[in-house]
Amino acid sequence: MKKYFLFTILISSLNTFSAVEIEDCASIESDIKRLACYDYLVTGVSKSSNEIDVTEASTSEEKTEATANSRSSFGFSRRQMSQSNEKSPKNSLSSAINSISKTFGGKTRFKLTNNQLWETQSVVSSKLGSFKVKSEVRIEEANMGGFWMINKSSKVRIKVKRIS
């Protein structure tokens, strides 16, 4: 019992004597510098300002490069993306419907203005009236996988998958 008590006092005293507090780290604007502050709190070792500046500059370049690459692969499954060797998709995509066609199974295919081909996951007929040629749509990732096609004007959504 005494060991646990001494251990608790020792840990609490270490926290009171530290020069940097968690609140100090939380108030830092830059993501990289805030992470370096948290790393310092945990490990006690800090990076030099030169290392932080170099890391911060490289991550901003990587973000813009990843955004450009992700638009062309939006909607592909993980298997399709691994085949095309592209990075992860973006969270949403805006476009307009260029043409609509039906499959033999009764599903509907939408060709968008960005030349992507999307197909409904199920045979839905009641909601399809909202999706017409030249309708503005937004495609978003669903929470548990898959994608939603959302009509921007009526906010009607249907579950879709990307074909090509």
Indicate the domain borders of the chain.
Answer: 20-71, 92-162
Q: Does residue 162 carry a pLDDT above 80?
A: yes
Q: Quick one: which of 20, 43, 48 has its CA closest to 32?
A: 48
pTM here?
0.46
Give kind and range of the element (H or E) at residue 95: strand 92-102
CB 131 within 8 A of CB 160: no
| Whole-number Å distance between alpha carbons of 117 and 139 | 12
CA-wise closest residue to 73 among 11, 149, 139: 139
* pLDDT tens profile 8-63: 776 666 555 556 677 777 778 878 888 888 787 777 766 655 556 555 555 555 66
More confident position, 20 or 163: 163
